[in-house]
Amino acid sequence: MPSKTFAGKTVEVDNEGFLVNHDDWTEEMAPEIAKEEGIDNLTEGHWNVIRFIRKDYQKTGQIPTIRRMKNAGGIPTNELYELFPQGPAKKSAKIAGFGKPQGCV
């Protein structure tokens, strides 16, 4: 399995660059992963989504869908697309240290 180094920590990733083990993730890694996804600066809005994803995963054991982020997280869908253009579920999950969400092709 391939590996990458983020914030000085080498972690296993899959062929698309998603972390294999979400427990390897640290907040210091997020900005570096975001840059790879074309997001230069993580704003408080980005962090709200990232923290919701991590907290919701702990509660449900699943990566939240866009619908769940909207309904349970109170994050408007249009805001998700503004923060994480061209694939908000996939990009936000990757930056939060998770694998590819179900339903993403």
Residue 1 confidence (pLDDT):
80
- How far apart, in whole angstroms, are the C-alpha atoms of residue 1 and residue 59? 29
> So what's the pLDDT on residue 103?
59
Given a cut of 50, whether residue 8 has pLDDT beyond it is yes
Instruction: Lowest mean pLDDT of 7-16, 63-72, 95-104, name the range.
Output: 95-104
Residue 11 has pLDDT above 60, yes or no: yes
Average pLDDT, the chain: 94
pLDDT digits 0-9 by tens, 19-32: 999 999 999 999 99
Query: Two tokens at 23?
Result: 């427990």
Length, in residues, of the chain: 105
pLDDT for residue 105: 43
Question: Which position among 53, 89, 104, 105 bears the catalytic label?
Answer: 104
Q: Does 104 participate in catalysis according to the annotation?
A: yes
